[in-house]
Amino acid sequence: MTEQDAIIDEVVNSEYKYGFVTNIEQESAPKGLNEDIIRFISAKKEEPEWMLEWRLKAYKEWQKMTEPAWANVHYPKVDFQDVVYYTAPKPKKNLNSLDEVDPELLKTFEKLGISLDEQKRLSGVAVDVVFDSVSVKTTFQETLKEKGIIFCSMSEAVRNHGDLVKKYIGTVVPQKDNFYAALNSAVFSDGSFCYIPKGVRCPMELSTYFRINAAGSGQFERTLLIADEGAYVSYLEGCTAPQRDENQLHAAVVELIALDNAEIKYSTVQNWYPGDKDGKGGIFNFVTKRGMCKGSNSKISWTQVETGSAVTWKYPSCILAGDNSIGEFYSVALTNHFQQADTGTKMIHIGKNTKSRIVSKGISAGKSQNSYRGLVKVHKKAENARNFSQCDSLLMGNLCGAHTFPYIEVSNNTSKVEHEATTSKIGEDMLFYFQQRGIDEETAVAMIVNGFCKEVMDHLPMEFAVEARKLLEISLEGSVG
Amino acid sequence: MTQQLENILPILQDEHQKQALQNAMNIGVPSMKNEEWKYTYFQKIWQQDFNPILSSATFDFNDIKTFIDNNATSSNRLVFVNGQFQHELSNLQNHPAINFWNAKNTASTNSNDFLLELNNALSTDGIFLEIGNNVVVDDLIEIFYLHSIAAPFINIKNKIKIGKNAVVKFAEQFINYDEQTAYYNTVTTLEVAESANIEWNKIQDGGNNFYITDNMHIEQATKSICAVNTFSFSGGITRNVLTYDVNGERSESHMNGLSLLLNNEHVDNRTLVNHNVANCESYELYKNILGGTSTGVFNGKIIVAQAAQKTNAFQSNRTILVSNDATINTKPQLEIFADDVKCSHGATSSQIEDSELFYLQARGIGKETARGLLVFAFGEEVVEKINHQPLKEKVEKRVAEILKIEL
């Protein structure tokens, strides 16, 4: 392991001390949503006036909107007045040793290969002080500072880097973009902000607080990531370990902006509580993620592994505005039991010679429903635009469903668009081949599924890829036979 | 035209018709906000002044007869003029194994579809054809829709039943006798019994003031084969809704389409295949060649029900854009609830490859001719699906004519 990896490893395994948690008072807002609540949130975060106004504008737009019903998912209606929009993180019950942790959870950790220390942290066991090495983290912080990289929480950014936030927030996902984005814009609690200055290549993978900060930043997170000219950053979000979250509704917004020659790689592993085997409970995950290739020769790449949440509604998209810009989307969406996922991407080609690539792998098992919904749009001016899309679905069991809704809109005759989709199940012959060689059915299925997803997994950063593979195996346990 | 409908409502005699018109008005004119109409601006038809035709009108018999003789590719023909079936011009009435009568409008469906209800309310005529068991009709049955009055709005409803083991080929000719503007709203239901083999061709070439909204619903029984080939060569707005209900095992459904549009046409092809039972196959091939400022829309939906194990469903939609003002909007859609299936779809949009052009140019063929030949070859794959030699040749000729190449 190189020194760099060692640093990353240490940091991702340690507590986050930049002030996400400690500065916030233990106080909650009353239930419901109105202007006063937004003022309250804004005041709590000591935000400048323009931010409050921005939130209020979003709230006004939100009031005019109705919940979208077009997605291929069904869930009980959310009462938006029954939600607490601001809660300071509750102090976690500190356990004394791993023996007190739910053995089911420990089993999962073990299978994922999560280190003992991290296991403790994730399950809320008091972490050894020695493990929380301050010096390593300082090194990490200094490295970033030296390069001029800003990486902090959203609230901090609003306070300390107001000009940057003001310039870019809402430029990719405007307040009135959609129902959930408007809601998020009005009440977002926190999130991450990242700015990579001109010509800087971020020397390490940036992970969000999910791994750093166990308390999380609540249900309405907002992430803004800007890569200035010639910059490069790889950003990780999420965690393979199961997250037990009390908030049922999650409406996050992620905005990426890549200027000339910049590249952003954004990877997500989402494993939130999917509900139990009978489909009770589970998280509603309604996320708006969008990247703007603003400059020429810029590149944005989304990679996601979605295995959690009861209902997922998520379309990480790329607007390819700059000439020669590239958008990529690699996705594995696995649904089991009663999970429902409606996910996909949008590739909007505006600039000349823009390229996009979509690889989506859907796996449905149990009684779940898995949909791919995508849009490839080639504007009239997008000379020589090129798109390749592939969406494959794998069905396991005869009670699940796999659906594809690809929209293709082409208005330029020098462009080339290709789309292909297949749906099938694991063939008896494939299983037979494995079994003949002494590999039992469950392992065989796991291997086939991993092979099916390999193309996407290869795009995940190393440390995620290993865990994500195991995660797929665990998520499918018991669905064969 | 909404105002016209309101005027018609009190005149309608039949209670069913009244109800249907009321339903249509309650549903309202489709807008682009409706997912089904996302890419087609129906108002473009609706805002024009078409006259709903409710009774028969006079026309020049000999003129029309000559026109049909010149355009027909077979001896079997069914002719409608101004929305009325013409016995003198048609010749299938006396076939021993074919039960035939014009259907008076009695159906009262309660659909949510504006155009279906409108058709229920206003359809003047249609054919009710019952083809007996084991009947093989050698020659093509051609259906002509013509009109002689200005700007008519014509509703026709056909109902066709095919007996067991029957083999029949049809061709619907939407052609224009006098290049005048017209709007046809046609509804056809086709019931295909066991082991029957049906081919249905639609030729839509009525000039650019010709508007069509066609709705075809097919029910297939065990081991039957049914193919629908749609050819759209001109038309202001053409919208074809094709629905298959596959209700018998081991049946095959084929859908093919070629839209060759070089001006400002708009063609919207929508197919829906409901695989309700196991062991069936469906094949779809839709191709578009789009030039000028034309727009092609394709929406292919395949629904595989949970019971429909071992379904094989394949769908392909390929487009060549020959001008930079043409647009293609496509949405191949799979909804699959059964696990033991093989389903795939593919959609492409591109232009003629430079390397292909070069190959022909290197052999002394001029660039424009080479391009024409390549585009022709692209379309030919669909034309070849026609299983009736004279019709196939006629369509080929028309494609060549549009592409300005010599065969």
3-state secondary structure of A320: strand
What tens digit of pLDDT does each residue of A4-16 get? 555 544 444 433 2
Beta carbons of A409 and B329 less than 8 Å apart: yes
Residues of A in contact with B334 (CB under 8 A): 393, 402-404, 421, 423
Option in B338, B343, B347 nearest A398 (CB): B338
For chains A and B, CB pairs below 8 A equal 116
Strands (E), A232-325: 232-238, 249-250, 253-258, 263-270, 284-293, 299-306, 311-314, 317-320
Quickly state the pLDDT bin for A204 (edges 50, 70, 90): confident
Option in B325, B334, B348 nearest A423 (CB): B334
Q: Residue B243 is inside which H or E element, if any?
A: strand B237-246
Beta carbons of B345 and A404 less than 8 Å apart: yes
Distance CA A229, CA B235 (A): 50
Distance CA B246, CA B278 (A): 9
Residues of A in contact with B329 (CB under 8 A): 407-410
Q: Which of B274, B170, B168 is nearest to B224 (CA)?
A: B168
Contact B226, B189 (CB under 8 A): no
Q: What pLDDT score was predicted for residue A15?
A: 36
3-state secondary structure of A301: strand
Q: What pLDDT score was predicted for residue B189?
A: 92
Residues of B in contact with A411 (CB under 8 A): 324-327
What is the least distance, in Å, from the CA of A139 to any CA of chain B?
A: 51
What tens digit of pLDDT does each residue of A393-446 get? 998 888 889 999 999 999 999 999 999 998 888 888 888 999 999 998 888 888
The better pLDDT of the pair B388, A24 is held by: B388
Beta carbons of B344 and A399 less than 8 Å apart: no
By the 10 Å C-beta count (0-12 exposed, 13-18 middle, 19+ buried), B234 is classed as: buried
Option in A70, A401, A412 nearest B336 (CB): A401
What is the least distance, in Å, from the CA of A406 to any CA of chain B?
A: 5
Beta carbons of A416 and B341 less than 8 Å apart: no
The partner residues of A370 in beta bridges, in order of sequence, read: A341, A402
Beta carbons of A411 and B327 less than 8 Å apart: yes
Residues of B in contact with A407 (CB under 8 A): 329-331
| Interface with chain A: mutation pick from B302, B312, B339, highest number of A CBs within 10 Å | B339
What is the least distance, in Å, from the CA of A411 to any CA of chain B?
A: 4
Ramachandran angles phi, psi of B387, nearest 5°? -100, 30
Q: What pLDDT score was predicted for residue B254?
A: 97
* Amino acid (one-letter) located at A393: S
Least confident window among A36-45, A63-72, A466-475: A466-475
Option in B324, B339, B343 nearest A412 (CB): B324
The better pLDDT of the pair A236, B106 is held by: A236
Option in A380, A406, A420 nearest B331 (CB): A406
Residues of B in contact with A400 (CB under 8 A): 337, 339
Contact A288, A178 (CB under 8 A): yes
Beta carbons of A406 and B347 less than 8 Å apart: yes
Maximum Cα–Cα distance for chain A, whole Å?
A: 69
What percentage of chain A reaches a pLDDT higher than 70? 77
Both tokens of A181, joined, read 């984005």
Distance CA B326, CA B319 (A): 11
Give, for all 407 residues of chain B, the pLDDT tens digit: 888 888 888 888 788 888 888 889 999 999 998 888 999 999 999 999 898 877 777 888 898 999 999 989 988 889 989 888 888 888 877 777 777 765 555 555 678 899 999 988 888 777 888 899 999 998 899 999 998 888 899 999 888 999 999 999 999 999 887 778 999 999 999 999 999 999 999 999 988 899 999 999 999 999 999 999 999 999 999 999 999 999 999 999 999 999 999 999 999 999 999 999 999 999 999 999 999 999 999 999 999 999 999 999 999 999 999 998 999 999 998 999 988 888 889 999 998 888 999 999 999 999 988 999 999 999 999 999 999 999 999 999 999 999 988 87
Count CB atoms within 10 A of the CB of residue A336. 23
What is the least distance, in Å, from the CA of B329 to any CA of chain A?
A: 4
Length in residues, chain B: 407
Distance CA B198, CA B244 (A): 13
Distance CA A243, CA A264 (A): 26
Both tokens of A4, joined, read 């760099």
**Beta pairing, strands A346-349 & A369-378:** parallel
Q: What pLDDT score was predicted for residue A27?
A: 57
Q: Measure CA A258 to chain center.
A: 18
Contact B109, B44 (CB under 8 A): no
Least confident window among A233-242, A358-367, B192-201, B241-250: A233-242
Quickly state the pLDDT bin for A124 (edges 50, 70, 90): very low
Option in B326, B333, B350 nearest A404 (CB): B333
Residue A71 scores a pLDDT above 90 = no
Q: What pLDDT score was predicted for residue A480?
A: 57
Report the half-sphere exposure of A206 (CA within 13 A, side-chain side): 27
Distances (CA, A) of A220 to A106, A150, A250, A251: 28, 22, 6, 5
Residue A17 scores a pLDDT above 50 = no
Contact A397, A388 (CB under 8 A): no
The better pLDDT of the pair A461, A147 is held by: A147
Contact B95, B127 (CB under 8 A): no
Q: What pLDDT score was predicted for residue A99?
A: 64
What is the least distance, in Å, from the CA of A242 to any CA of chain B?
A: 28
Residue A135 scores a pLDDT above 60 = no
For A127-143, letters b (16+ CB in 10 Å) and e give beeebbeeebbeebeee
Residue A140 scores a pLDDT above 80 = no
Mean pLDDT score of chain A? 80
Quickly state the pLDDT bin for A317 (edges 50, 70, 90): very high
Residue A86 scores a pLDDT above 90 = no
Beta carbons of A415 and B344 less than 8 Å apart: no
Q: What pLDDT score was predicted for residue A239?
A: 62
Ramachandran angles phi, psi of A415, nearest 5°? -90, 160
Distance CA A77, CA A79 (A): 6
Distance CA B355, CA B353 (A): 5
| Interface with chain B: mutation pick from A413, A414, A426, highest number of B CBs within 10 Å | A413
**Beta pairing, strands A401-410 & B327-336:** antiparallel
Both tokens of A180, joined, read 């959930």
Q: What pLDDT score was predicted for residue A215?
A: 39
Residues of B in contact with A335 (CB under 8 A): none
Option in A378, A395, A417 nearest B336 (CB): A395
Residues of B in contact with A420 (CB under 8 A): 344-347
Beta carbons of A408 and B346 less than 8 Å apart: no
Contacts of residue B102, defined as CB under 8 A and 6 or more positions apart, other chains included, come to: B85, B125, B126, B127, B128
Residues of B in contact with A401 (CB under 8 A): 335-337
R_g over Cα of chain A:
22
Q: What is the dihedral of CA A287, A292, A298, A302, to 10 degrees?
A: 10
Beta carbons of A421 and B346 less than 8 Å apart: yes
By the 10 Å C-beta count (0-12 exposed, 13-18 middle, 19+ buried), B324 is classed as: middle
Q: What pLDDT score was predicted for residue B95?
A: 76
Phi-psi group of B134: left, alpha or beta (phi > 0 → left; psi -120 to 50 → alpha; rest → beta): left
Report the half-sphere exposure of A69 (CA within 13 A, side-chain side): 6
Distance CA A331, CA A405 (A): 15
- The reported pTM is 0.84
What is the least distance, in Å, from the CA of B210 to any CA of chain A?
A: 24
In B, what residues contact A, Cβ < 8 A? 35, 306, 309, 319, 321-351
What tens digit of pLDDT does each residue of A265-299 get? 999 888 887 877 777 777 888 999 999 999 999 99
R_g over Cα of chain B:
21
Residues of B in contact with A395 (CB under 8 A): 336, 338-339, 341
Beta carbons of A421 and B345 less than 8 Å apart: yes
Q: Which residue has the tokens 């390999």?
A: A454
Tell me the H-state helices in A148-245: 154-160, 162-168, 179-187, 209-212
Q: Which of A63, A35, A39 is nearest to A49 (CA)?
A: A39
| Interface with chain B: mutation pick from A408, A412, A426, highest number of B CBs within 10 Å | A408
Q: What pLDDT score was predicted for residue B121?
A: 87
Ramachandran angles phi, psi of A299, nearest 5°? -145, 135
The partner residues of A313 in beta bridges, in order of sequence, read: A286, A342
Option in B328, B346, B349 nearest A420 (CB): B346
Residue of B nearest to A379 (CA): B327
Residues of A in contact with B268 (CB under 8 A): none
Q: Cα(first)–Cα(last) distance of chain B, in Å?
A: 44
3-state secondary structure of B6: helix
Residue A327 scores a pLDDT above 70 = yes
**Beta pairing, strands B127-131 & B98-102:** antiparallel
DSSP state of A156: H
Q: What pLDDT score was predicted for residue B12?
A: 81
Q: What pLDDT score was predicted for residue B88?
A: 87
Mean per-residue pLDDT for A348-363? 95
Beta carbons of B341 and A419 less than 8 Å apart: no
Both tokens of B56, joined, read 């028969």
Contacts of residue A170, defined as CB under 8 A and 6 or more positions apart, other chains included, come to: A54, A185, A255
Distances (CA, A) of B168 to B19, B76, B94, B158, B394: 35, 11, 16, 16, 19
Beta carbons of B340 and A425 less than 8 Å apart: yes
Beta carbons of B336 and A406 less than 8 Å apart: no
Helix axes A441-457, A428-436, angle to 10 degrees: 110
For A186-218, letters b (16+ CB in 10 Å) and e give bbbbbbbbbbbeeebebbbbbbbbbbbbbbbbb
Option in A70, A413, A421 nearest B344 (CB): A421
Residue of A nearest to B308 (CA): A398
Residues of B in contact with A398 (CB under 8 A): 306, 309, 338-340
Q: Which of B171, B139, B145 is nearest to B157 (CA)?
A: B145
ipTM: 0.85
DSSP state of A189: -
Contact B320, B290 (CB under 8 A): yes
Distance CA A480, CA A474 (A): 12
Tell me the H-state helices in A172-231: 179-187, 209-212
Residue A21 scores a pLDDT above 50 = no
Residue of B nearest to A392 (CA): B344
Residues of A in contact with B325 (CB under 8 A): 380, 411
Option in A398, A405, A410 nearest B328 (CB): A410
Q: Which of A400, A361, A73 is nearest to B340 (CA)?
A: A400
What is the least distance, in Å, from the CA of A347 to any CA of chain B?
A: 14
The partner residues of B396 in beta bridges, in order of sequence, read: none
Q: Measure CA B299 to chain center.
A: 14
The partner residues of A378 in beta bridges, in order of sequence, read: A349, A410
Q: What pLDDT score was predicted for residue A67?
A: 86
